[in-house]
Structure 1
Amino acid sequence: MKQIAKQSILTTLSSYLGVLIGYFNVLWLLPYALQPEQIGIFRTIQDMGLLFVPFAQLGVGNGITRFYPKVKENQFSFFTLSLVITIIGFVVVMAMFFLFKDLIIDTFAKNSPEVIDFLAVVILITLFAVLNSILDAFCRSFLKVAVPAFFREVVLRLLSAVLILIYLIKWIDFNQMMWGLAGIYFLALLGMIVYMIQEKIFQLRFRFKTFPSGLLSDFMKFSLITLLATTGSMLIMKIDSLMVTAMIGLDANAIYTIAFSIAVVIEMPRRAISQVVMPIVSEHFEKGEISQIDKLYKEVAVHQLLLCSFIFLAIWMNIDSLYHYVPNNTVYEMGKWVVLWIGLGKLTDVLFSINSEIIVFSKHYVFNITATLIMSIAVIVLNLLLIPIFGINGAAMASFMAMIIFNLVKFLYIQQRLQLNPFSIDILKILGLSGLLWLMHYFSAGLMPNGFWSIVVNILLLIAMYVGGIFLLDIAKPNRDRLIKKIKEVRS
């Protein structure tokens, strides 16, 4: 757990530095520099490009983590093979893209025709992002997740801010800025290559015949099956935004995008922990250490729920003040309830701990086909049903409901097949504490005018009550005691 904690802390720091930059971009810079329909184009093109990434990757990212322990002696040939497979996957996906290009154009032609002008940018974003995902996965096998997280969470957002500022001072026009989106993904890829060369973990070797017998077929089988799980996660992240653009319009997607960006920060600790936990889970399965996986399952559930519940409460208690500072806030504050539904969806994912990682690296990974099929159908059908009735709120509700279905299916399967359970009494305590604090805020809301001091007071009160509740209810006592002991050692 110490190794996980160290890398998770470094990754989380990058994540939250990225969040600060991202909040500046989304809550102030984008609404200030761009019109709502331009924001819609800006985010739709990115979302479309990133939606193609798991398809082009062919699941190789998870395959690297699963099979790396078996090929350490031929690790760079394995790395090279992964890149070759990914490039082939990209070519196949782009062939499908051009085959169905007319259908894609028809989907956006009525409500968002401007998207059609930048489909080439989508292709470039997909190419650079999918190659970066393979480098990220290979670094993860070495438990080097902090620097890749820095490029992913900080560098991309910082370059996006620079790009928008260059447009704002009129050095480039909007079309050039959109092409610049592809450029920032290329720069992030270049930075990762330089980092890996410096760490001596980037070498191209084409000795594919040195692998153990049967490994390549097992690797491809595993990768293609886990492709569905990765695709499912990406679908629930991106499909609602694209469907809002197609069914309502670019203005609506701008409102939805800003709300989604406020809520998505809730899951940052989970994403950081997941990056470090994946190779650990893979190693435990390789050694048959099921009891260690069960322990990890429960510990991760408690700690990430503890962190993410606090973030959710901090955001929701200050939601009106956050929108108060958004330029043209009368337009964008319509997304307030999107924040709530997406936030609850993220908490649902956090609550069920590392269920996806456990399935992916167990011998039952084929179940991903069933789970992802159920989730994909659910998210698309729910969006089609709820968007016409509730608009952007319907899209958020669809994501929340699909996330519940997806996680329940995986939880029940893990419990049946592996007899593992992430829940403990601490989970109930955290949910009870969070619910109580939410009720207290509900009855005290509106006592202060929206603005900076309202945020400060709310955060300070939340910290005091949340930390007090943790000690009063004795939540996560073993790890809390270790933390206090280390603090005392540092002070002495």
Structure 2
Amino acid sequence: MEKFARQSILTTLSHYLGVAIGYFNVLWLFPYSLAPEQIGIFRTVQDMAMLLVPFAQLGLGNAITRFFPQLKSKQGSFLTFSVLVTLMGFIAVSLLFFIFKSQIIAAFAVNSPQVIDFFVVVLLITLFAVVNTVLDAFSRSYMKIAIPTLLREVLLRLLSTVLVSVYLVGWIDFDQMTWGLSVNYLIVLGSLISYMFRIGKFSIETDFFFERKGFKSEFLNYSFITLLGTAGGILIMKIDSLMVSSMIGLEANAIYNIAFSIAIVMEMPRRAISQVSMPVVADYFSRQEFPKIDKLYKDIAVNQTLICILLFLGIWSNVDNLYHFVPNGTIYEAGKWVVLWIGFGKMCDVIFSINGEIIVFSKYYIFNITATVIMSIAVVVFNLLLIPSYGIEGAAFASFLAMFFFNFLKYLYIKIRLSFEPFSWDVLKILILGLGIYFIQAYIFSKNNPGIPDLIIRSLAITLFYALGIFLLGIAKKNQRKVIEKIKGLRP
């Protein structure tokens, strides 16, 4: 876990620097500079592109990580081959996009017709993002995670800050700003190529005769099989935003996305840990070291729950403070309950640990497709049923239901097939501790008015109570012992 922890810390730092920039963008710059409908367009264009990416990628991301340990050489050829395959996938997706263009237009024509003008931007973002994901998968396989994460989480958000700021001062109009989104993704892609070239991990080679016979067909078969699983996972994350735009309107999507952006911070450590765990899990499976996978499953469940519950407490307890600083906050605070339900959904991802990663790299990876297809259909049905009656809160609750059942289904399958178990008493203690602290702080600070003083005092109190509770309940004792030993080592 020590090597694992170092990589996780670096990627987590990038995630949270990106979060700080993202919070500035989403909670202040965008509401200050753009009308709600414009924010809705800005987000819908990107969400639509991100929904197309896994289809254009043809499932190569997980396949690269899975098969990378099997190659002793020709990694340059493997990279070139993967990029060529994903470019063919992009061409196929683009053709389908134009074939069904009239149906897509019809979906947005009534409530969000402005989106139709930017379909080319959607495809450009898809192209640059899909190549980026392939290169990112190779970087991850080399355990070079920090810089790609910095580019994706920090640079891309900084470029959005610059883009909207240039629009704010009147140097470009809104259409040019939206087209500029594709330039942002191109800059990030170019930066990643430059980084990989500098560290000697980017080379174009066309010798596609790999060491192991049948490698290409096995690699492509696995990619195509996992395509539905990958695409379904993105569908579960993005379909709610697109359905809000098409069924309610762009202003509602702006409110929904700001709330979603507040909630998504809760799971940032899980994202960092997932990126680092994928090559480790793949390597353990290749060597059939199942006890190590089971231990990793449990350790990650405790550690990421420990961090993410504290973040959940901090965000939900301070939700009124956060909306207090949003320009035109009376419009956007309608998404307050979206924060709670999306937060619950993200906590499901956290508590159930790396169940998806384990299934993807096991011999039972086909089940991931079954589970994801079921949940993809379910989330669409949930949204169709709940959005007309409950609006954006219905969309958020639909996402929560989909994420819970999706994780529970994968947990049961792993339990039955592999006998791995992520849960421990520590996880239960953390959940009880978090619940108790929430009600304690809500009672103590119930009469406080929203603002910076309440934000600081409430956050410090929650952190103090949480740290004290962890110590008294003996949660993650091994980590506590390491911290104490390091403190003792600092003494003269």
Counterpart amino acid of residue 97 in structure 1: F
Superposed CA deviations along residues 350-399 of structure 1, whole A, max 9, x for unmatched, are 01000000000000001112101111011000000000011000000000
Structure 1 counterpart SS, 2:80? helix
TM alignment of 1:95-244, pairs within 5 A: 95-244=95-244
Match of 1:271 in 2: 271
In structure 2, what is the equivalent of residue 311 of structure 1?
Answer: 311
Q: Quick one: distance in 1 between partners of 2:184 and 2:261? A: 19
- Structure-2 separation of matches of 1:231 and 1:485: 45
Q: Take 2:478 and 2:429, find their aligned partners in 1: how far apart are those partners? A: 15
User: CA–CA distance in 2 between the matches of 1:80 and 1:431?
Assistant: 46
Q: CA deviation at 1:75?
A: 1.1
2:30 is matched with 30
- What per-residue deviation string (whole Å, max 9, x for no partner) do you get for residues 176-196 of structure 1? 000000000000000000000
Tell me the equivalent position of 1:254.
Answer: 254
Matches within 5 A, 1:318-397: 318-397=318-397
2:441·2:461 contact (CA, 8 Å) conserved in 1? no
Aligned position for 1:448: 448
C-alpha deviation, 1:488, in angstroms:
3.2
Alignment-derived partner of residue 10 in structure 1: 10
2:289 partner amino acid: E
Instruction: Give 1:406's aligned residue.
Output: 406
Paired with 2:491 and 2:14, the residues of 1 have a C-alpha distance of: 26
1:33-112 aligned at under 5 Å gives the runs 33-112=33-112
After TM superposition, the structure 1 stretch with the greater mean CA deviation from structure 2, 427-436 or 441-450, is: 441-450
Q: Can you list the C-alpha shifts for 1:444-463, whole angstroms capped at 9, x where unaligned? A: 34321100010100111011
Q: Is the 8 A contact 1:11 1:150 kept in 2?
A: yes
CA deviations on 1:431-452 (whole Å, 9 max, x unpaired) are 1101111222333343211000
Aligned CA distance change for structure 1 residues 487 and 206 (closer, same or farther; 3 Å): farther
| Structure-2-length-normalised TM-score | 0.99
CA distance in 2, matches of 1:51, 1:491: 53
Deviation string 1:76-109 (CA, Å, 9 cap, x unpaired) is 1111111011001101111110110000000000
AA aligned to 1:79 is L
| Matches of 2:480 and 2:333, distance apart in 1 | 38
Bigger mean CA offset, 478-487 vs 405-414:
478-487
| Structure 2 segments unaligned to the other structure (5+ residues) | none
Aligned mates of 2:107, 2:445 — CA distance in 1: 42
Amino acid at match of 1:284: Y
Letter in 1 for 2:299: E
Aligned-partner Cα distance in 2 for 1:486–1:422 = 28
Read off the aligned partner of 2:148 and give its amino acid letter: P
Summarize deviations over 1:92-132 as a string: whole Å, max 9, x none. 11111011000000000000000000000000000000000
Mean alpha-carbon deviation: is it higher for 441-450 or for 188-197? 441-450
Whole-angstrom distance in 1 between the partners of 2:296 and 2:317: 31
Cα offset, 1:423, TM superposition: 0.3
CA distance in 1, matches of 2:60, 2:424: 34
CA contact (8 A) 2:441 2:462 kept: no
Deviation at 1:71, TM superposition (A): 1.1
* Range with bigger deviation, 321-330 or 207-216: 207-216
- For residues 139 and 418 of structure 2, the distance between their equivalents in structure 1, rounded to whole angstroms, comes to 29
Hey, what's the Cα distance between the residues in 1 that align with 2:286 and 2:233?
25
Match of 1:298 in 2: 298
How far off its partner does 1:3 sit?
1.1
**How far does the alpha carbon of each residue in 1:47-85 deviate from its partner, in whole angstroms, 9 at most, with x for none?**
001110011001101111000011131211111111011
Q: How far apart are the structure 2 equivalents of 1:332 and 1:115?
A: 21
1:215, distance to aligned residue in structure 2 (A): 1.2
Q: What is the one-letter code of the residue matched to 2:485?
A: K
Report the AA paired with residue 267 of structure 1: E
3-state DSSP class of the match of 1:52? Answer: helix
TM-score by length of 1: 0.99
Q: Distance in 2 between matches of 1:376 and 1:69?
A: 31
- The answer (yes or no) to whether the contact 2:40–2:251 under 8 Å persists in 1 is yes
| CA contact 1:225–1:368 (8 Å) conserved in 2 | no
SS at match of 2:73: helix
Q: Secondary structure at the match of 1:207?
A: coil
Distance in 2 (CA, whole Å) between partners of 1:462 and 1:62 is 38
Equivalent-residue separation in structure 2 for 1:488 and 1:326 (angstroms): 44
Distance (whole Å) between structure 2 residues aligned to residue 484 and residue 182 of structure 1? 49
Asked if the contact 2:18/2:153 (under 8 Å) is kept, the reply is yes
| CA RMSD of superposed structures (Å) | 0.9
**Distance in 2 (alpha carbons) for counterparts of 1:266 and 1:229:** 24
Conserved? CA contact 1:284–1:292, under 8 Å: yes
Aligned length: 492
The Cα shift of 1:217 comes to 1.3
8 Å contact kept, 1:41–1:115: yes
- AA matched with 1:392: I
Deviation at 1:490, TM superposition (A): 4.2
From the superposition, tell whether residues 444 and 105 of structure 1 become closer, same or farther in structure 2 (CA, over 3 Å).
Answer: same
Structure 1 letter corresponding to 2:229? A
Q: Which amino acid in 2 is paired with 1:2?
A: E
SS in structure 2 of the partner of residue 73 of structure 1? coil
Q: 1:471/1:204 Cα in 2 relative to 1: closer, same or farther (>3 Å)? A: same
1:208 aligned counterpart, secondary structure: coil
Gaps of 5+ in 1: none
Q: Distance in 1 between matches of 2:44 and 2:477?
A: 44
Q: CA deviation at 1:211?
A: 3.5
Does structure 1 conserve the Cα–Cα contact (< 8 Å) formed by 2:269 and 2:307? yes
Could you tell me how far apart the structure 2 residues matched to 1:353 and 1:214 are?
34
Using the aligned pairs only, state the percent identity.
Answer: 59
